[in-house]
Amino acid sequence: MTDFISIAKNWLEQDPDAETRAELQAIIDQNDIKELEARFSGRLQFGTAGLRGKLQAGSMGMNRVLVCQAAAGLARFLLSREKNPTIVIGYDGRKNSLRFAQDTAEIMQAAGIEAQLMPSLRPTPVLAFSVRRLKASAGVMVTASHNPPEDNGYKVYLGGEDDGAQIVSPNDKAIAAEIQWVADNQRVDELPRDTNYKMIDQAIIDEFIERTAKLATAPIADLSYVYTAMHGVGKETLLSVLDKAGLPKPTLVLEQCEPDGTFPTVAFPNPEEKGALDLAIARAKEVNAEFIVANDPDADRLAVAIPNEKGEWATLHGNEIGLYLGWFIASKAQKEGKTGALACSLVSSPLLGKVAKACGMAHQETLTGFKYIGRVPGLIFGFEEALGYLVNPTEAHDKDGISAITCFLNLINTLKAEGKTFAQYRQEFMDTFGAANSDQLSIRVEDLSRIQRILKAVRANPFKEIAGIAVEQYIDHLETETPNDILVFHLAGGQRVIFRPSGTEPKLKMYLDTTGKSLAEAQEICANIKADLAAFADSVA
């Protein structure tokens, strides 16, 4: 029988953090074996975005012991690859982000790896840019992106042949093995530390700002729009880019524009979540804005909201934004005689393939995550339906909400120069590529095993029809050349349903893409499929 008391005491003795020591000591004093088992039954593993989890004591949580083990393990991995590795480290405004970043810098520097720390809170895209610009061996961004306030995370990038992209297999497994070796053989309180690391020069941040500003190529028009940073770190960098580009400034949602890791005005700091843009919409109505742009807390995503003819505001689906930006960028490249590739993850809209073909571009569908999208050869634009867009792939290999806003403003200015409205652009897209609708049924769970119970039920008896529409093709990606826990159903009439567990949150996501003779028909088909799937999910205990 596992002695969780002894395991917890060993962890406690190494912990440099007074808060988590007190937290764990209280659990030990209460002899709460069930709670200790929950915290020490395994380790947080590298997933879609490196490490990510709840801030709490124990190997299943994000804390200083786990982060120090991760830093020491990553250091061992980097030293096994090259003689004089370097690393750049950034952090957001969440609880402990700066401390985790400093721990990483100190351990890396002591291990013989030249470490550079971001001089202030900055968006994830600035860190991703810095990895490539400084030709670093690796990069770490301490962030949990749009997760709830009790979470934090540790995103890893690699240089060299990975060229600044996020980690993929087999490197993720190799890093995890080194972290496990550290956990098994070294005590965190005995790891060498060196505080003589460097700060990333402000000139690198300025260069990111300057290069992003160059995306604004259209004549500058008057714009009335609202921006929210969602209590994150996007505002300062975005406003600097707008200044450099000479673009009009937005009306700010002041309650949400300064970093605050408690995210006091939203239930979840994710622009996709219902209610997250309520304050922005209220502000937009006050100033009669044309549109809203929003970043998530680490500013690597972009959300857009617009009003309809009745003045009712709605957030655009991530696929819509991706398709509009993709068409804009690909059309511009085509006019300039350029060729390249458009890419999206397999859960994103298949219409991007039509856009690519119409513009004489290649199209590639990847596994989920920009660690795959960013590696597509010849990429000129990539996106993922979860509000992630890579509009400037020559500068970084990850999604970037700052450059995406700049590109979206360039699209609006281009339309205005042509005497068009955004509504006309949307209709022109529909007339060219067809009426399509995207939606998502997202099931948030307390018990993670419920996700696998639902997927197991689907695999045991794959749907023959959904909402009365026949299934024409069923793909279980666990059985393909690139195994992944994703189920795809292609239905008659061009409809598609995809099941996928979230890589960053306790959710099962069902992605719905439908088409019809009109948008209203596509939306009705989508609503029927969504209702049928919701009833099925409810039926699985």
- The two tokens of residue 74 are 């990553």
- The two tokens of residue 281 are 């919409």
Q: What one-character DSSP code corresponds to residue 47?
A: B
Nearest to 365 by CA among 351, 225, 231: 351
- The two tokens of residue 98 are 């700066």
Q: How far apart are CA 466 and CA 471, in angstroms?
A: 7
Q: How far apart are CA 126 and CA 106, in angstroms?
A: 21
Q: What one-character DSSP code corresponds to residue 408?
A: H
Helices (H) and strands (E) in the chain, counts: 17, 22
In a 10 Å sphere around its CB, with 0-12 CB exposed, 13-18 middle and 19+ buried, how is residue 119 labelled?
Answer: middle
Question: Which ranges of 381-518 would DSSP assign to H, the alpha helix?
Answer: 401-417, 422-433, 449-460
Q: What one-character DSSP code corresponds to residue 28?
A: H
- The two tokens of residue 192 are 């060498």
Q: Starting from the edge strand earliest in sequence, which strands make up the sheet with 487-491, in order? A: 435-444, 507-516, 495-501, 487-491, 469-476, 465-466
Q: How far apart are CA 223 and CA 249, in angstroms?
A: 8
Cβ atoms of 100 and 64 closer than 8 Å:
yes
Cβ atoms of 128 and 209 closer than 8 Å:
no
Give the active site residue among 145, 348, 349, 403: 145
Q: Rg for the chain (alpha carbons), in Å? A: 23
Q: Can the peptide bond before residue 170 be classed as cis, meaning omega within 30 degrees of 0?
A: yes
Cα-based distances in Å from 444 to 92, 274, 506, 507, 526: 25, 14, 6, 4, 20
In a 10 Å sphere around its CB, with 0-12 CB exposed, 13-18 middle and 19+ buried, how is residue 489 labelled?
Answer: buried
Whether residue 145 lies in the annotated active site = yes
What residues does 436 pair with on adjacent strands? 515
What residues does 33 pair with on adjacent strands? none
Strand pairing category for 507-516 and 435-444: antiparallel
Cα-based distances in Å from 359 to 279, 333, 339, 349: 38, 8, 9, 17
Active site residues: 145
